[in-house]
A and B are shown apart, each in its own frame.
Chain A
Amino acid sequence: MSRSNLLEKRTAMRYNVLLWMLLVTGVLMLTLKTVYAEVYKTNEAFLSEVFAGKVPTPAHVWLRGDLKAQVNKILMHPYGKLRVKYWKSADKSAWILEEIGKEKPITTGIVINQPGKISKIEILAFRESRGWEVKYPFFLKQFLNAALKADQQLDKPVDGITGATLSVRAVTKLARMALLLHQHETARQGN
């Protein structure tokens, strides 16, 4: 190989090395800037599925007095709003609630049947960078048929997921909150 060829090859290699370093740096920065946000199902799609296309007019429950205190106790902080929207038919109620796992809210759709047990639970949107495993049926099916005990805990155990502790905790809190609100509304409407 002639000397000029060798020099050309070396220069090309140098440029290649620099180019790769810049490219990797850029990709790394861009990837890390990406906001982790994923909507698995819209609220409308969830409700339409639950009520077979005939979504009832939403009702509202006000978080006041004792109910507010109980919700605060379950969540261990105040819920973001004083008024919670829900959808109710003769045999079930559907709740779309949000709770922060670590930094960002997890939107969860929960359906409670008339005996006051969870008949469906789904993660509708997950915005955290970790803990997304809670969206899988292997985890969510643990909540099916769960009811609320007098101490406002679920009447069946929920196994955690390694590395998703905060998300598991958030979804469990929302399940308890939905059961509590369902109980409250059923009692209120019964009176």
Chain B
Amino acid sequence: MKPQDRAINLVPLPQPSSRPGGSAKKKKWLRLFFLHRYIGLFAALFAVFLSVTGILLNHTEELGLHDRQVTIGWVMKLYGIQPPQIVTGYTSEYLDKPAWIIDFGDAVFFDQQRLPCDPPVIGALMQDEILVVAGPKQLCLVTPEGELIDTLPLEVSRVTQLGRNVRQQLFIDTPEGNYTLNRDMTEVVVQQDSSSEIEWQKSRTPPDEVTKVLFQRYQGTGLPLERIILDLHSGRAIGLGGVYFMDAIGLLLIFLAVSGVMMWSKRAANKKRNKVSR
């Protein structure tokens, strides 16, 4: 059959709005069209971003991204490797020489060894071969080798400073009075001795030769650029929320692809139908 014969035999199709339920259908398509448009606008930026980072990741070796180290301050901070601005320390005799207990921002060190205690440090003293590191609300007891013995919460008050009297008894100063540890160092108890002269410990700035090694160890040589681009691509750079956000963007892109094809096929069908009806 020739095309013109087919056109003669066919009855022109009614307009969508004149058909029963046509208006609702038209509205549905219109909604899809708007959704496609606005989701497209929203996702366009991320599509470009994902494409660029994806292309870069495909060529990490050629671009030498793994070898390039980033040491920019805010990037390091984003990865939680920003060295602290203020470093304070306390000294305590250990093996007949002063040892440094250093409050290094988000970590506590005993000389070069990281301790399993939480900062901030209010004071630190070696007592009967056990290092007592005081925080505002708890005492952290560690061995000189850095093993955590126990943490003792100070429920009634907060520590303001640590000290010792001439008999080497421990004094924990709080606004409510002095406390100490019991004989087994299992409990914080009220210090009964009030007559002694107490030497309170003062925080000091540790010497450069002590902190230099810590700074170096903390910052390392930087972050490989490949790592940063990979984390940006996956959204991991801003945490778990970022990963799921990128997943959502991926789903939006899938929606755009499907709605695009649907609208294109609808338009193509309409075009064909209009051509036939003419």
Which A residues are closer than 8 A to B by beta carbons? 13-14, 17-18, 21, 25, 28-29, 32-33, 58, 60, 80-83, 85
Contact = CB atoms under 8 A, between A and B. Distances in A.
B149 A21 contact: no
B248 A81 contact: no
B244 interface: yes
A14 B116 CA distance: 55
Given A17-B35, A60-B184, A28 B244 contact: yes
Contacts of B35: 17
A83 B38 CA distance: 60
Interface of B: 34-35, 38-39, 42, 116, 141, 143, 147-151, 184, 186, 239-241, 244-245, 248
Contacts of A21: 38-39, 42
Contact of B245 (A14, A25, A83): A25
Contacts of B34: 13-14, 17
Given A17-B34, A21-B39, A82 B244 contact: no
Query: Could you tell me the dominant secondary structure of chain A's interface residues?
Result: helix
Nearest to B252: A21
Contact of A28 (B38, B42, B143, B245): B245
B149 A25 contact: no
Contacts of A14: 34, 38
Which 9 pairs across A and B sit closest by C-beta, in order of nearness? A32-B241, A83-B150, A82-B149, A29-B241, A17-B38, A32-B244, A83-B149, A33-B241, A81-B148
A7 to B, nearest CB: 14
B86 to A, nearest CB: 28
Nearest to A62: B149
Contacts of B38: 14, 17-18, 21
B239 A82 contact: no
B148 A25 contact: no
Given A28-B244, A81-B149, 10 more contacts: A14-B38, A17-B35, A18-B38, A21-B42, A25-B245, A29-B241, A32-B240, A32-B244, A60-B150, A81-B151
A25 B248 contact: yes
A82 B241 contact: no
Contacts of B148: 80-82
Contacts of A28: 241, 244-245, 248
B111 to A, nearest CB: 20
Contacts of A58: 186
B239 A33 contact: yes
Contacts of B184: 60
A85 to B, nearest CB: 8
Contacts of A80: 116, 148
A130 B39 CA distance: 32
Question: Which residue of A14, A28, A29 has the most chain B CB atoms within 10 A of its CB atom?
Answer: A29
Given A17-B35, A18-B38, A81 B150 contact: yes
Contacts of B42: 21
Given A13-B34, A18-B38, A33-B239, A82 B143 contact: yes
A61 B187 CA distance: 14
Contacts of A17: 34-35, 38
A21 B256 CA distance: 14
A59 B85 CA distance: 42
A82 B150 contact: yes
Nearest to B150: A83
Nearest to B184: A60
Contacts of A81: 148-151
8 contacts: A18-B38, A21-B39, A25-B245, A29-B244, A60-B150, A60-B184, A82-B143, A83-B141
